[in-house]
Amino acid sequence: MMEKIVVELREYFKTGKTKESSWRKSQLKGLQKFVIEREDDILKALNLDIGKHPVESYRDEVGPLIKDINAALHDLANWMHGKKVKLPLPAFPTSTMLVPEPLGLVLIISSWNFPIGLSLEPLIGAIAAGNTAVLKPSELSPATSALFANVLPIYLDSNAVKVVEGGADVTAQILQQKFDKIFFTGSRRVGQIVMTAAAKHLTPVTLELGGKCPLVLDSLPTNSWLKTIAMKRMIAGKFGTCSGQACIGVDYILVEKKLASELVELLKSAIKKMLGSKPEECVARIVNKHQFTRLKDLLDEPRVRSSIVYGGSVMNEDKLYIEPTILVDPPLDAEIMTEEIFGPLLPIITLDDIEDSIGFISSRPRPLSIYCFTKNDKFRKKLASETSSGSLIFNDTIIQYAAETVPFGGVGESGFGRYHGKFSFDTFSHEKTIMKRPLFPDFWFRYPPWDVKKLELFRAAYVYNYFLVVLIVLGLKKPRPFTKNI
């Protein structure tokens, strides 16, 4: 079955249809219509799959997609056009262009936590670049997966884009096929499986993984209004985004001991105000019982449970709900501090000096994002220069995902490759060098036999010393002899 799908998509790509600008625009407009016309279906699917509130779903998935599709439609001609390149003097008078061309057949494997955005965002780039594509939604978001399988063919060219549903066994079958690019969003464990499969065919891979994204709190604002804003942004980056089940969500906070008590009280108050008396009606649920049990086990470790200062007691397995929970100084060797949490549990780690946060972060795998709340320019520069991460955000959280004008991606164990906007187009394109040169004029010193004059001409030409080239050609500059040991 999979082999047949791959063959059909490759044959369709060979027709050249997907390379046409008109085809690319029509498919982007089809995606646009799908997102707009099927908004209610999308919001319903997200609620069924993970219990997201419609407003959160629109904020994080529907709205950004409409914005990004509009941007792709507006800029597609410029993306496709290519660019001129300057060459060294010995290549004169060659004209050169770098022209993007589609890679061919691409595979997009998406995740369950943002199943609409993490599927269609890379698909925008794949289509804009002129590829055919297989989209494999997560089996853990069955309503979204079914929506794609049943409805996307109405809006897109089904000869070029095919949705394949199924679990791990289906993914394994897909990965046996040869693709020209694989784009994967998910866990490190599955990312390793994808890379291993891709290596058999030398297929390039983009991995969007995650990791433990820290938030560094250097200081608290003195103004109460600004304190409130800071707390809202921190909470939104943890509990207010898919209930903490987000690769760019805040995983833990680093703060000086002297600020910890005040921070805890501010967070408690802000959680109650933002999420209300029934937070389970406002935040997404845990995706399934397996993940629920995993998070419960993190808290049930005796050394960890003793560090809970807020929440942690309300757990409804039937509704897959765990209340927002704050912990202070859980053991650093406990699983909650060694593995990505991916849930509504927020450890706070206290330090003697906030500058110790740089060493703390640098001693661990590089995160997808680092967040920092500070008004200290010196510390801001130090954090930027001495840490490595996919992105670094000051005084806010998770806003980088919504910006199509900057690349989104990780570094090291948090993934590699990047996308969003033009960067998605580049991810699914090969930038081909096209050079054109007349037969005349021709530089005679390019060819053997060699002598010191030709050597001197190359020395001058490669450093763009046009005046010296002229002097040597006219015999007005005596070349340096070869060194004695040659």
The catalytic residue positions are 208, 247
CB within 8 Å of 37: residues ≥ 6 apart: none
The partner residues of 105 in beta bridges, in order of sequence, read 132
**Distance set, CA 480 to CA 410, 444, 457 (Å):** 51, 19, 11
**Gap between the Cα atoms of 164 and 180, Å rounded:** 17
**Gap between the Cα atoms of 115 and 113, Å rounded:** 6
Residue carrying the six token digits 């699917």: 45
**Gap between the Cα atoms of 208 and 210, Å rounded:** 7
**Distance set, CA 177 to CA 108, 129, 185, 417 (Å):** 13, 21, 19, 22
Q: Is the dihedral of CA 41, 42, 46, 49 positive or negative?
A: positive
- Locate 131 and state its tokens: 């590829």
**Gap between the Cα atoms of 175 and 136, Å rounded:** 11
Closest CA to 52 of 9, 98, 115: 115
Burial of 352 (C-beta count, 10 Å sphere; 0-12/13-18/19+): exposed
**Gap between the Cα atoms of 144 and 428, Å rounded:** 24
**Distance set, CA 158 to CA 30, 98, 135, 183, 279 (Å):** 12, 31, 12, 20, 41
